[in-house]
Structure 1
Amino acid sequence: MKRFSLILLLLVSTTFFAQEYNLENGYIANGFDVVSYFTNKKPLKGNKKFQTTFNEVKLKFSSDKNLQLFIENPKKYMPQCGGFCAYAIATRNERKEIDAESYEIRDGKLYLFYNKWFSNKLESWLEENPSKLQKEAAENWKTLKNNKD
């Protein structure tokens, strides 16, 4: 009985307290190399040969060098807002999928955006006061990240 109670407690705490991440295609940033956003002119697709897990989130990298850079400082490279569209988090307080090639590095942090059907939310972000939206996204994400709705 004690063992069952412990397992149930672990399941409940994981369900209610684990941070939500956008894991489309099974990986954060749709499997793109999160380090490459910072080190290349454009993001690179990750390779299954170079992968790791951080906070129970799977990540792929384009090279062993980028994998090692991530391992040295994972928080530096993780996308903000759990890898969801930062604009949607800031303006509508909701999770929205992203286009991994629509991004901005602001204040050393990676922000990803929705970009489909003539709706580029990076453009909206840049036009509507990104500093203010950045603060609103951070504030909204504090509560939204643990909300499973």
Structure 2
Amino acid sequence: MFQTDKARVTLADTNSAKPTRRGALRLLTLGFAAATATMISARTARARIFTGFIEGTAVGGYDAVAYHTQGEAVPGDPAITLEHEGATWRFSSEANRAAFAADPDAYAPEYGGHCAWATAQGYLAQGDPEIWRIFDGRLFLNATQGVNRRWLRDVDGFIMQADANWPSLK
């Protein structure tokens, strides 16, 4: 049935057309979330190398060559860098930068520096540059010491799983 009470119609029309403070905040929050997701996905799509969200360097700024040649995690020098696969790589020496430039695949961490165990489980997580192992000449990072202990229980099996999962995750 029709209601002819103009005050009610006007009030209803006014309330539905006027944005509320809560509604505006929701729209702003949704817009911010969408913009952030777009930036993160664009960055991820652009580079398969994990660079973190703040520092923007591969392997957390550590020298990828030093793991292989010195057997330890050595922080890279911000003045000695190289751009490779959309990421900035730091090195502790010019010699290490030259070695990486000559054969990046020999030194770069597997799965773009993401956690090797997580990659084996079918998802991506940040690898910690101080929690690492080299197996068969390949550098693997893991997220935590606990995850690393799990990884060490079946290295070959986890590498097989991660190698199979990586193409669909990157």
Asked whether the two chains share a fold, i.e. TM above 0.5, the reply is: yes
Partner residue in 2 for 1:109: 138
Provide the C-alpha distance between the structure 1 equivalents of 2:102 and 2:58, rounded to a whole number of angstroms.
18
Deviations 1:116-136 (A, max 9, x none): xxx521111001x11010011
Contact (CA 8 Å) 2:58, 2:88: kept in 1 or not?
A: yes
Partner residue in 2 for 1:97: 126
Question: Is the aligned partner of 1:137 residue 2:162?
Answer: yes
Partner residue in 1 for 2:118: 88
Alpha-carbon distance change, 16 to 27 in structure 1, aligned in 2, over 3 angstroms: closer
Structure 1 gaps of 5+ residues are 1-13
Structure 2 gaps of 5+ residues are 1-41
Deviating beyond 3 angstroms after TM superposition, the runs of 4 or more aligned structure 1 residues are 14-19
Question: Is the aligned partner of 1:68 residue 2:93?
Answer: no
Structure number having the greater strand percentage: 1
Larger radius of gyration: 2
Shift in Å at residue 17 of structure 1?
6.0
Contact (CA 8 Å) 1:113, 1:120: kept in 2 or not?
A: no
Deviations 1:94-133 (A, max 9, x none): 1111221101111111110111xxx521111001x11010
Provide the C-alpha distance between the structure 2 equivalents of 1:16 and 1:58, rounded to a whole number of angstroms.
14
Q: TM-score by structure 1 length?
A: 0.79
Deviations 1:55-95 (A, max 9, x none): 1111000111111111111111111111100001102x111
Which residue, out of 139, 144, 148, partners 1:122?
Answer: 148
Aligned length: 127
Tell me, what secondary structure is at the counterpart of 1:71? helix
Tell me, what secondary structure is at the counterpart of 1:35? helix
Tell me, what secondary structure is at the counterpart of 2:79? strand
Shift in Å at residue 141 of structure 1?
0.6
Q: TM-score by structure 2 length?
A: 0.70
Deviations 1:29-58 (A, max 9, x none): 101000011011311000111100111111
Tell me, what secondary structure is at the counterpart of 1:70? helix
Shift in Å at residue 19 of structure 1?
4.5
> Over the residues paired in the alignment, what is the CA RMSD in angstroms?
1.7
